Amino acid sequence: MQITVEIPDDIALRLEPLKDKLPQILALGLQEITANPATGFSGLTEVLEFFAKLPSPQEIIALRLAPNLQAEIENLLDKSRAEGLNEIDLSLWQHYEFVEHLVRLAKVQALLKLQQSA
């Protein structure tokens, strides 16, 4: 499908060198915009906002994926097994892997902190 969009000149200049990545940029942007932070975390922004509140170790350990995000990850896994991931899906998968890595690091530190205080 082809879509024509008018954008400000300053954004057009920034996008020009990335024009081959526009589908990925739009897919990731849509993912972030449609995320519902009230249901859990869905991306880096929500994770950073969660950690900016300086949660307790118990809150960090209790952090879980929102059901809608868990379903999306499972869909990507199914698609990967069945037909493989396209470039946009692969980029989204890598985004989720990065967020998961950050959360795991935080959970390890939280567990260590709890063990030291026990």
pLDDT in tens, 49-72: 889 999 999 999 999 887 877 888
Q: How many CB atoms lie within 10 A of CB 46?
A: 20
Tokens of 17: 């060198």
Six-digit token string for 104? 């795991």
Q: Domain boundaries in the chain?
A: 9-117
Compute the chain's Rg from CA coordinates: 18
| Of 99, 114, 101, residue with least CA distance to 49 | 99
- Tell the residue number behind the tokens 């920034």, with chain if given: 14
Model confidence, pTM: 0.63
pLDDT in tens, 80-105: 999 999 888 888 888 888 888 999 99
